[in-house]
Chains A and B, each alone.
Chain A
Amino acid sequence: MNLQAPALDLSGISKSYPGARALDDVSLRLMPGEVHALVGENGAGKSTLIKIASGAIQADSGTVSVDGSVVANASRRAFQALGIRVIYQERQIARDLSVGENVMLDRLPGTGLVSWRRTMSEASERLAVLGLELDPRSSVRGLSVAQWQLIEIARAVDYGARAIIMDEPTASLSRVEVERLFDVVNALRARGVAVLYISHHLDEIFHLADTVTVLRDGRQVFNGAVAGLTPDQLVNEMFGEVSHTVDRTDSCNRDGGPAISLVDVHAGTRVRGVSCEIYPGEVVGFTGGTGSGTTELAALLVGARRPSSGSVVLGGGRRLRSRTGAASAVAFLPSDRKRRGLLLDKTIADNLLLGRLAVPGPPVVMPRRQRKVATMLMKAANVKSDSADRGVRTLSGGNQQKVIIGRWMEVGTPVLVFDEPTAGIDIPSKMEIYATLRRLANEGAAIVVCSTDFQEVGLVTDRVFVMRDGRIVGEVAGALASEQRLIEMEMSA
């Protein structure tokens, strides 16, 4: 019998926003030394729950207790003082400060005056635990997203904490780095720190968690031990029944020559000599680990990055020289949707119409006509919102991606390049997006999917190029591109 008080106890939590009930009577209890997974599709209420559990917002009803005593009207700072730490999904890095200062940001050591010697030595220790050998005095600028994420993990990991909330901590980490994080979580567990672990990756949950809570539409639909659950059961709890197949009608048409081709393209040390041809009506994948060059390849294919040598040739033989004005030849759907894809402070309609602003057209636009077009595109892309006048910010990640896809519908752009098309998107939306990709290909577009998600490229593409260190190391038909086959190809090269 466990007589300890729960490290963090959320009881009967409800929270409403105007027009939406985010959480409805959710209870979640974290015992010391427990790794508790929190899962659910986007918009299920995970973020709201984390915000309440860390004091960022207040619940409408219900109580939050730390170590058995109720915390009332507390702020984020108060929760931090009680030993609740959070690793946020979005990067919280001060770009002008050093690595060490970023690690120690919330507790610079020293009395009165900051002791820089201790700051740097303690930061080094924290980073070393995560296997990150960085000079703490160096700048965080120019580091990779994965390194930034590790810095934030190093900041939050505190063996004296009561509970650590990790929101998608592995989103941009490589396999090796994920293993290191697992070691850290296990060490925390051994020291009696409770961990609330939020992830879209079910294998991580089965590998790591003791218990799991599933949220769906703001309600708690499952709460229990992980042992004895199967992945399929968990997925069904999260989404109801989902189909896992994507239509793969081959509509590739090689008669008229390639829609876009790469001729011995180099870009610094990131891409080293890639040549390939992509034809109308096919879905081609480029995959590999983080740093393999797929993201840089996407930028090269759309003209956002100029090759240091070699060239990108469009259908018809024209060379692609810059991004500006290239939208009628090749559309780009970037990976970081919020910052690089969307006009985040604008409406759904404004975002849907952006594709039309990028290709040649009549100089005068009539708002009434534009609204009609936007409404039509919203339907075509299956964006779930009652009006195109809503802010695009209010949509879930899946719907935001659909807006970006909708932007290029009916524009007639022959090539569409996706970089990580479904990163951070829940499974049902993923399936819808895959179906849309296939539909666009069947209508004659050439689709390029640059993705580090092996499962994804195996599911959606006709042909897959496997990349490592900026080179293509293998090609395989999509139907044969199982996750295992792709890993083998990447490793053996």
Chain B
Amino acid sequence: MKWLPRAFRGELVRVFVPLVSAVVLLSFYTEYKKDNFVAWANLENILLQTSVLGIIAIGQTFLIAAGQLDLSVGTFSAYCAVLAATQVVNGRSEFLAVLIVLLVGAFVGLIWGAVITALKIPPFILTLGGLSVFQSLALVRAKNSPVPVRDSFEWLRTGDVLGLRTPIFILFVVLIVAAVVMRYTRFGRQVYALGSAEEASYLAGLPTTRTKILVYVISSTLVAVAGLILMARIGSGDPRSGGGLELRAIAAVVLGGATLAGGRGTPVGSFLGVFVLGVVQAALTFLNINDSWSDFVFGGVLIVAVLITAISDLRRDNKGQRGPLAQIFSMRGAATAPVQPAENTAIQQRQENT
């Protein structure tokens, strides 16, 4: 494994090998039971189906690596889908509709980032509110039923770029750019530092506020992209289409090696997490297993993956620093960091001063 980039080796053993072997094993089992599972057409189908979730999960990776979270991504993608559809129905050009949706995405991210950094609100509660707000906005804008756009966005639904279906092409471009940004730019390294220890990063002089706002802008813009694909693929702006995507995205990111405590996680890992979920779903369909089992399998995969990671972490640093439960829930900072008196933290001091 010497030829691999050094930082990759740890992740390779911890995340990539288990995920890829899960995909391979499951694929060949399904192939053995029913033919034609391992085939380009099927792979293309899986990638198409996972493109929306994949793009959202890559956006969420930026947030989680920075120690942030956005629970509103599912309903916001539905809102973006509805927004794009209504724009076209109202006679705007496809180009303008796409532009508007992307700008709305970036703007919403800017608002999240600004509010969360300025008022120091935990993102969990704030974006939980956002989840409901966007659901409602989508329903109001769509007047409670899907807005059909059968004749528009043909290029996004069935078009090809460089021999790949457009959504798959967009997914891969997003994946590659995100992976490069996280690994090869100062911004990417600042994201990991922020997620690893916010106060230490701030005191070292890193632009923590800017970094935090930027990760929300990136994530929300990617959610807008995902919303456009969602709309094109269904052929309508469906206000109820994005439900539950936020939890699946977070699950995929964690499956891909991140911890909710922040400081870890890679776009490639998150994509593999999404892909594993996609292969499981496809295999269930192929094997004619009742669809009711799909959530069970999905949850099971997540639980097993997190248990494996926790156990391997336990063995790696068996210094007894963290309890096994803390490890399993990955709440490292929260569970064992020695607490400090409130008045001593710089963040508190800033609040005192303002």
Chain A residues engaging chain B, CB cutoff 8 angstroms: 17-18, 51, 56-57, 90-93, 95, 141-145, 147-148, 267-268, 295, 299, 302, 304-306, 308, 323-328, 331-332, 334, 336, 338-346, 350, 353-355, 357-359, 361-367, 371, 389, 391, 393-394, 407
Which residues, 15 to 63 on B, are CB-close (under 8 Å) to A?
A: none
A329 closest partner in B (C-beta)? B205
Given contacts A363-B187, A366-B184, A367-B183, contact A339 B197 (CB under 8 A): yes
Do A336 and B184 have beta carbons less than 8 Å apart? no
Given the contacts A143-B341, A358-B205, A358-B206, A342 and B346 also touching, CB distance less than 8 Å: no
Flag if A142 contacts B346 (CB, 8 Å). no
A–B pairs, 5, beta carbons within 8 Å: A17-B319, A346-B193, A357-B186, A357-B190, A361-B186
Does the CB pair B340–A336 fall under 8 Å? yes
Complex contact B5–A367 (CB within 8 A): yes
Chain B residues with CB under 8 Å of A143's CB are: 341
Bound-complex Cα distance A308 to B205 (A): 21
Report B325-354 residues with CB < 8 Å from chain A CB. Answer: 332, 337-346, 349-350, 352-354
A93 to B7, CA, bound (A): 37
- Residues of B near A57 (CB, < 8 A) are 320
Is B317 located at the chain interface by the 8 A CB criterion?
Answer: yes
Judge whether B263 and A343 touch: CB under 8 Å: yes
User: Are A148 and B205 interface neighbours, CB within 8 A?
Assistant: no
Chain A residue with the shortest CB-CB distance to B189: A357
* Nearest CB in chain B: distance from A445 CB, A: 16
- In the complex, what residues of A have CB within 8 A of residue B118's CB? none
- Identify which of A302, A324, A343, A371 contacts B200 (C-beta below 8 A): A343
Q: Check A364–B185 contact: CB distance below 8 A.
A: yes
Q: How far is the CA of A349 from the CA of B336 in the complex (A)?
A: 23
Q: Which residue of B lies closest to A144 (CB)?
A: B341
Of A305, A332, A336, A340, the residue contacting B205 (CB under 8 A) is A332
B202 proximal to A (CB < 8 A): yes
Nearest chain B CB to A73 CB, angstrom units: 15
User: Known interface pairs A51-B320, A354-B193. Does A305 touch B353 (Cβ–Cβ under 8 Å)?
Assistant: yes
Report whether B187 and A323 are in contact in the complex, using a CB–CB cutoff of 8 Å: no
Q: Which residues of B lie under 8 Å from residue A350 when comparing CB positions? A: 192-193, 196
A303 to chain B, nearest CB (A): 8
User: Which residues of B are at the interface with A, using a C-beta cutoff of 8 A?
Assistant: 5-7, 183-187, 189-190, 192-193, 196-197, 199-210, 261, 263-264, 317-321, 332, 337-346, 349-350, 352-354
Give Cα A394–Cα B318 distance, bound, in whole angstroms. Answer: 12
Q: Which residue of A lies closest to B207 (CB)?
A: A324
- CB of A346, distance to nearest CB on chain B (Å): 5
Bound Cα distance A123, B185 (Å): 54
Q: Are A95 and B339 closer than 8 Å at their CB atoms?
A: yes
CB closest chain-B residue, reference A93: B339
Query: Quick check: A343 and B193 within 8 Å, CB to CB?
Result: yes
Given A91-B339, A343-B200, A367-B6 contact (CB < 8 Å): yes
Chain B CB count within 10 A is highest, among A92, A93, A143, A345, for A345
- The 8 Å CB contact of A407, one of B204, B344, B345, B353, is B204
**A305 contacts B342, CB within 8 Å?**
no
Residues A331 and B205 in contact, CB atoms below 8 Å apart? yes
The answer to whether B206 and A324 touch across the interface, beta carbons within 8 angstroms, is yes
- Residue of B185, B203, B264, B339 touching A304 (CB-CB under 8 A): B203
Residues of chain B within 8 A of A90, CB atoms compared: 338
User: Which residues of chain B come closer than 8 Å to A344, judged between CB atoms?
Assistant: 196-197
**Chain B positions within 8 Å of A141 at CB level:** 341-342
User: Hey, which chain A residues are within 8 Å of B349, CB to CB?
Assistant: 299, 304-305
Describe B's contact surface by its main secondary structure: helix
B5, B200, B340: the one within 8 Å of A91 (CB): B340
A363 to chain B, nearest CB (A): 6
Hey, which chain A residues are within 8 Å of B207, CB to CB?
324-325
Q: How many whole Å from A392's CB to the nearest CB in chain B?
A: 10
Q: Which of B199, B204, B208, B352 touches A355 (beta carbons < 8 Å)?
A: B204
User: With a CB–CB cut-off of 8 A, which chain A residues contact B338?
Assistant: 90-92, 338-339
Q: A339 to B312, alpha carbons, bound, how many Å?
A: 25
Cβ A354 vs Cβ B206 within 8 A: yes
Cβ of B340 and Cβ of A363 under 8 Å apart? no
**Known: A90-B338, A304-B349. Is A323-B189 also a contact (CB below 8 A)?**
no
B186-A343 in contact (CB<8A): no
Is A363 a contact of B320 with CB atoms below 8 Å? no
Q: Complex: how many Å from CA A111 to CA B184? A: 61
Residues of B within 8 Å of A328, CB to CB, are: 205
B185 to chain A, nearest CB (A): 6
Whether A323 contacts B202 by the Cβ 8 Å rule is yes
Is the Cβ of A371 less than 8 Å from the Cβ of B346? no
Contact of A342 among B200, B341, B343 (CB under 8 A): B200
Q: Are B205 and A56 in contact (CB under 8 A)?
A: no
Cβ–Cβ < 8 Å partners of A342 in chain B: 197, 200
Chain A residues whose C-beta falls within 8 Å of the C-beta of B183 in the assembled complex: 367
Give the CA-CA distance A308 to B354 in the complex, in Å.
9
Residues of chain B within 8 A (CB-CB) of A393 are 317, 321
| Choice from B186, B187, B199, B352 contacting A268 with Cβ under 8 Å | B352
- Cα distance A366–B6 when bound, in Å? 12
Report whether A340 and B203 are in contact in the complex, using a CB–CB cutoff of 8 Å.
yes
Q: Which of B184, B196, B321, B341 contacts A142 (CB 8 A)?
A: B341
> Closest approach, in angstroms, between the C-beta of B180 and any C-beta of chain A?
9
Interchain CB contact under 8 A, A346 and B263: yes
Q: Within 8 Å CB of A407, what residues of B? A: 204
User: Other than the known A142-B342, A357-B190, what 18 A-B pairs have Cβ atoms closer than 8 Å?
Assistant: A51-B320, A95-B342, A141-B341, A141-B342, A143-B341, A323-B205, A324-B207, A324-B209, A334-B203, A340-B203, A341-B200, A342-B200, A343-B193, A344-B196, A346-B263, A354-B206, A365-B189, A371-B6
Are B193 and A357 in contact, CB atoms less than 8 angstroms apart? yes
Residue from the set B185, B197, B201 with the largest chain A CB neighbour count within 10 Å: B197
Q: With A365-B189, A367-B5 given, is the CB distance from A148 to B203 under 8 Å?
A: no
Partner of A367, one of B184, B341, B344: B184
Q: Which residues of B contact A95 (CB under 8 A)?
A: 339, 342
Assess whether B205 is in contact with A327, with CB atoms less than 8 Å apart. yes
A304 with B342, Cβ < 8 A, contacts A339-B197, A366-B184 known: no
Complex Cα–Cα for A17 and B320 (A): 11
User: Are A325 and B205 interface neighbours, CB within 8 A?
Assistant: yes
Report yes or no: B344 in contact with A336, Cβ–Cβ below 8 A.
yes
Question: Considering the chains assembled together, what is the distance between the CA atoms of A56 and B192 in angstroms?
Answer: 32
Instruction: Compute how far the CA of A308 lies from the CA of B184 in the bound complex, rounded to whole angstroms.
Output: 40
Nearest residue (CB) in B for A57 is B320
B residues in contact with A354, CB < 8 Å:
193, 200-201, 204, 206
Given A340-B203, A363-B186, A345 contacting B332 (CB threshold 8 A):
yes
Smallest Cβ-Cβ distance to B187: which chain A residue:
A363
Q: Is the CB of B317 within 8 A of A391?
A: yes
Closest chain-B Cβ to A411's Cβ sits at a distance in Å of: 10
B185 pairs with A305, CB closer than 8 A: no
A248 and B331 CA atoms in complex are apart in Å by 47
Q: Which of B6, B317, B332, B346 is the one whose CB lies under 8 Å from A323?
A: B346
A145 with B344, Cβ < 8 A, contacts A341-B203, A346-B196 known: yes
Complex CA–CA separation, A144 to B264 (angstroms): 33
Interchain nearest-CB distance for A155 vs B (Å): 14
In the assembled complex, which residues on chain A have CB atoms less than 8 Å from the CB atom of B317? 391, 393
Chain B nearest CB from A268 CB (Å) reads 7
Residues of A within 8 A of B354 (CB): 306
Closest 5 CB pairs of A and B: A327-B205, A90-B338, A358-B205, A343-B196, A304-B346
